[in-house]
Amino acid sequence: MDNARAGQANPSQTIAVTGANRGIGHAVAEALLRQGHEVVLVCRDRERGEAARSRLAALGSVRLVVGDLSGVRAIRATAEALRDACPRLDVLVHNAGLWPSRRVLNEDGLEQAFVTNHLAPFLLNLELEDLLTASAARVVQVSAGLYVKGKADPDRTPTGLDFHPMRTYADTKLCNLMLVPLFAERWQDAGVTINAVHPGVIRTGLGDRRGPLGWLLKAVKLTWKSPRTGAGPVVRLATSAEVAGVTGRYFQLDEEHCLEPVARDRDLARRLWTQAAELAGVPHSPPAARDA
């Protein structure tokens, strides 16, 4: 067995990666192809997605699903497109993320980062649940250490009230992270695992701006680690035998970390789940409350 495949739980899987046309998502897709997996790139823009697919095609079996994650109807359409492309789905990597520069509401009246960072992974998990359970799949959520600066407020976060670029990003990533343990409980008897990972401070296009502040940020990013480095912890959770069966955990790079208190409010997590289900129009209740 070559080194690229050492430690894998299964050397041949079908893996979908959202936001895979650049940055960490593209690097994750490249690494998975080098391991011998079939990779489905989920990209919002067809032209950029086709360019990414072309760059990766020489490495193995790679397909493109054009999917927008900025609205409920679009997320459902993306799930249907994934179903058409993937009769089997062994791993789902939620990588797509948005660091907004201004408050923008989508057609549902929801702030776009809230939808992309939180509601989209939630709804995709439920829309694709039968595929995930059929293969006892792994779900990997690319998270952010900035969640510690967030505040998950069901009354204000969904519509971006009190908007601030960094705060809104942190708020929405926190909302998403708080549901990971609930999904782990939901799937505990189905063999599906879900884990979140902060891949480090990585040099990607996330949060890029125009003007002097944008130029300064690009200069700072030159000191940050490469997307290929950031892909490593994500790929490990997606394929490594070392973490087979591990679920409901949060990792910083390759090390498991206990969530900070801001992310451990069980009642708030259940409220966020119920709200997300209502906003997405799905009848799924959160897992039953644990006995005290």
Point out the residues that are catalytic: 169
Angle between helices 266-280 and 165-178 (to 10 degrees): 100
- Cβ contact 45:22 at 8 Å: no
Residue type at 67?
Answer: G
Strand, coil or helix: 156? coil
Residue type at 235?
Answer: V
- Do you know the residue count of the chain? 292
**CA-CA distance, 67 to 79, in Å (whole number)?**
8
**CA-CA distance, 91 to 267, in Å (whole number)?**
29
**CA-CA distance, 34 to 16, in Å (whole number)?**
15
Query: What residues form DSSP beta bridges with 163?
Result: none
- Cβ contact 68:32 at 8 Å: no
Helical residues (DSSP H) of the chain, grouped into ranges: 23-34, 46-56, 72-85, 112-114, 120-127, 129-134, 165-178, 180-186, 211-221, 227-239, 266-280
Strand, coil or helix: 243? helix
